[in-house]
Every structure is written in C-alpha cells, then in structure tokens.
C-alpha cells in the first residue's frame, strides 16, 4: 500500500533515498549520487518552506517522489509551483504513484494559495507527457540554459 507525504526537515534519510530514486530513474547516478551534500545542507533545504519534497512510501521504502519550488510572483499577489524533478522506481511504475504525488502537491499548493503548478517534460518522454497532459494543459515553450560563468 502506497502513501504520500511531504518530507520534513529532520527526515534527511528519505531525501537521500529519493536522490537514489532520481539517479536510477533518470539514468544519471553521477548527478544524484556522486556528491550528495552533507546532512546540514539537506536539512536546510528541507527547512526552506518554498522547497517542497513529497515522497511515495511503501512500508519503509521510498518508491517515488517529487521536488517542487514555490515561486512568489510580483505582477500579482499570487504564487505558482514548479515541479523540478519527479520520478518513480521502475518496479513501481504504472500504479498511479506519479499521479498521487502530483495530487498531494496540488493540496499543498492549494493550501498556500497557488494559482498554477507547472512542469516540463523532455521530448521523447512519452510516459511523462501523457501523464502531464492527463492532468493539465500543454504549452509548447523553449527552454534555455544560461551559464552564469560565461
């Protein structure tokens, strides 16, 4: 049985487990496992109210999760949420876990007065695209990475 919960400040162990899930799911172990920050850094991250981490749990195992950021807008008194990472262990996919994670985030966003949650998906990631299209409206945009050191 899966349950979903927001990770609290003291639960660095779950955040580390989620980092391992991300590394496996994104086939990018180097980014998510080779330089895991120290506990005090992860506690600080979890303590930041604008950094939201939600995990799916089965028994004591993190089977999936998401990290989202609350963005305070300036043009109106409102907020939006950006899902930065979302992944489910391959052995637990197709069970509604990703949807459950987003539904949990929706409740958090609604309680904080957000007007929208947005997420991006890479071309070719058909499963993610299908999931997000089932939950929201698709917008085709261009994404640019700008190197602050150049």
Please state the rounded mean pLDDT for residues 103-131.
90
The pLDDT confidence band at residue 145, using thresholds 50, 70 and 90, is confident
- What are 43-100's pLDDT values in tens digits? 999 999 999 999 999 998 999 999 999 999 999 999 999 999 999 999 999 999 999 9
pLDDT reported for residue 132: 87
- Residue located via tokens 């980014």: 31
Query: Is residue 22 assigned to a domain?
Result: yes
Q: How many domains does the chain have?
A: 1
pLDDT score of 26 more than 80: yes
Whole-number average pLDDT of the chain: 92
Mean pLDDT (whole number) for 8-37: 94
pTM for this predicted structure: 0.89
123 is a domain residue: yes
The Cβ-side half-sphere exposure at 106, using a 13 Å CA radius, reads 8
d(CA 149, CA 147): 5
Residue 112 lies in a domain: yes
Of 38, 33, 37, 4, which is closest to residue 21 (Cα–Cα)? 33
**CATH code for the domain of 73:** 3.40.630.30
Q: What is the pLDDT of residue 128?
A: 81
- Alpha-carbon span 137 to 116, nearest angstrom: 11
- Predicted confidence (pLDDT) at residue 1 exceeds the cutoff of 80: no
> Is residue 125 included in any domain, yes or no?
yes
Enclosing domain of residue 93? 2-135
Q: In degrees, to the nearest 5, what angle opens at C-alpha 56 toward C-alphas 26 and 67?
A: 55
Q: Specify the pLDDT at position 139.
A: 85
Please check whether residue 85 lies inside any domain of the structure: yes
Tokens of 134: 């089932």
**Residues β-bridged to residue 4:** 56
Instruction: Please report whether residue 145 resides in a domain.
Output: no
* pLDDT at position 133 over 90: no
User: Does residue 141 form part of some domain?
Assistant: no
Share of the chain above pLDDT 70, in %: 99
* Euclidean distance between CA atoms 105 and 111, whole angstroms: 10
At 110, is the secondary structure helix, strand, or coil? Answer: helix
Asked, for residue 144, whether it belongs to a domain, the answer is no
């Amino acid at each position: 049985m899966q349950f979903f919960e927001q990770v609290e400040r003291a639960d660095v162990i779950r955040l580390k487990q989620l980092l391992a899930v991300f590394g496996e799911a994104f086939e990018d172990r180097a980014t998510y496992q080779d330089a895991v920050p120290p506990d005090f850094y992860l506690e600080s991250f979890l303590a930041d109210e604008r950094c939201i981490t939600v995990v799916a749990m089965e028994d004591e195992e993190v089977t999936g999760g998401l990290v989202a950021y609350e963005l305070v807008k300036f043009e109106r008194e409102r907020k939006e949420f950006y899902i930065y990472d979302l992944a489910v262990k391959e052995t637990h996919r197709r069970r509604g876990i990703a949807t459950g994670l987003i539904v949990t985030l929706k409740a958090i966003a609604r309680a904080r007065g957000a007007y929208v949650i947005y997420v991006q998906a890479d071309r070719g990631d058909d499963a993610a695209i299908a999931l997000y299209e089932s939950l929201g409206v698709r917008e085709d945009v261009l994404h640019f990475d700008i190197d602050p050191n150049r």
